[in-house]
Amino acid sequence: MLYDVSHRTTYRYSIPVSFSHHLLHLTPRPGERQLCHRTALTVTPTPSRHVAAKDYFGNPITFITLQEQHTDLVLYARSTIEVQPSTILDPAVTMPWDRVYDELWHDPSESGLDAIQYVFDSPYTQATAPVEELARKAFTPDRPVLAAALDLTRIIFETFTYDPTATTVSTPLDHVFMARRGVCQDFAHLQLACLRSLKVPARYVSGYLLTRPPQGRERLIGADVSHAWLSVWCPPFGWVDVDPTNNLVVSHEHITLGWGRDYGDVSPVNGAIFGGGAHTVAVSVEVAPISDDR
């Protein structure tokens, strides 16, 4: 599938900003199933410095600096992305989950060293005893890791309610767990905490969903905004992406921006400003097939 992806973020400040510096994760990351044919980032007002780079995790990033006074900042990213469907995998042939960490501990390969860093808690994924108890409902002894991960994905989908008014970016995980409500970011963090409590490597993935579903199919939860899901390390297949917000294995309707330990590593816009006073922010996202007549 070829997609036209647009992501517009608008900041409005009550008093002028005299100087600002930002780190942006707004460029989709190329990968095995994802090819970025073209991408462009427009910043208004025009920054005095605009530098493309990669972060620690290998995600494309952009640094911008604005040195003229402004009361509005508009970040508009637009890309043409090709996404291939994922391969259908048999969960039963994956390694038992309770062997994964021990195998990784003795794996000196580049992929093994990369995976093992994702078994530890991160700022947004602090595991607690109730979180581990939830994980063990799916992760029974000797169960194949992908089968258990898919079961946990289903449990979160069925027992937590998608509610965009229930949380903010800073809502602690234990509040989400107690309220049983949240958004895609919260559910991804919850499943990450569950997996990491058992030393199963898992990483946070930031991206987008198809805005309009194929004919005859329901619209997925989380479209029209940035979306989040997670990848689970599942030998012998490697990383497998699952989406607890929609209870599915990720395929060609998800577009990846980047990944890290949690939201803090791949937030779309981060930075510092001087001035500004109070501010509002508006975000709009659209993902549509190129061939779609609009």
pLDDT digits (tens, 9 = 90+) for 69-100: 999 999 999 999 999 999 999 999 999 999 99
pLDDT band at residue 204 under the 50/70/90 scheme? very high
Whether 264 has a pLDDT exceeding 60, the answer reads: yes
Please give the Cα distance from 248 to 232 (Å, whole number): 13
Q: Is the pTM of this model over 0.95?
A: no
> Quick check: bond before 236 cis, omega within 30?
yes
Express each pLDDT in 25-72 by its tens digit. Answer: 999 999 999 999 999 999 999 999 999 999 999 999 999 999 999 999
- Closest to 72 measured CA to CA, from 260, 284, 293, 282: 282
Please give the Cα distance from 79 to 62 (Å, whole number): 15
104, 106, 119, 201 from 113: Cα distances, Å: 8, 10, 11, 11
CATH code for 2-83+267-289?
A: 2.60.40.2250
Could you tell me if 237 and 231 are in contact, meaning their C-beta atoms sit under 8 angstroms apart? no
Please give the Cα distance from 236 to 119 (Å, whole number): 18
Could you tell me if 23 and 13 are in contact, meaning their C-beta atoms sit under 8 angstroms apart? no
- Average pLDDT for the chain: 93
% of the chain at pLDDT higher than 90: 88
Residue 37, judged by CB atoms within 10 A of its CB (0-12, 13-18, 19+), counts as exposed
Count CB neighbours of 140 within 10 A.
12
For the segment 233-251, the average pLDDT, to the nearest whole number, is 96
pLDDT band at residue 213 under the 50/70/90 scheme? low
DSSP string, 216-239: TSPPPTTTTS-EEEEEEEETTTEE
For the segment 257-262, the average pLDDT, to the nearest whole number, is 98
Domains of the chain by residue range = 2-83+267-289, 91-266
182: Cα separation from own chain's centroid: 15
Whether 272 has a pLDDT exceeding 70, the answer reads: yes
Q: Which of 4-8, 81-85, 113-117, 166-170 has the lowest mean pLDDT?
A: 166-170
Whether 214 has a pLDDT exceeding 50, the answer reads: no
pLDDT at 70: 96
CATH number 3.10.620.30 given to 91-266:
yes
